[in-house]
Amino acid sequence: MKPELQQFVSSLPTRRSKLEPFSHDMAELMNAGCSYRQVVDYLASKGVKAHPSEIKSFVTAKVRAHQFQQTKVSGSKKPCPPAPVQAGMVRKVTPAAKSALPKLDWETETSNKETW
């Protein structure tokens, strides 16, 4: 990176959530079985105004980041569960271009080409 770009990037303020200082407290509350509304009430007692959806988003992001770090460190990936198949449906795999994932098309067993 060019020095002037590096200097500009380093001068930018870091983005930090207002909930970050309370992440350990929120984790303990969630592990104790508290609801998002109860976590909001706790944060309000500490002078932080938040909505339950903010708490949910924050906790979800932290869990995902933690899972990503564990996967990155251990090098193992959890396999994806197979897609659910409805009765009468057959999964047809169409080869795709090199280095691309195969295209999955769902057809009925009777080859009925109706659109949904």
Predicted confidence (pLDDT) per residue in 8-64, tens digit:
888 888 778 899 899 889 989 988 999 999 999 999 999 999 999 999 999 898 888
Rounded Cα–Cα distance for residues 83 and 23 (Å): 34
Predicted confidence (pLDDT) per residue in 66-91, tens digit:
776 665 555 555 555 555 555 555 55
Going from the C-alpha of 37 to that of each of 30, 31, 42, the distances in angstroms are 11, 14, 9
Q: Which of 71, 49, 60, 72 is nearest to 23 (CA)?
A: 60
pTM of this prediction? 0.50
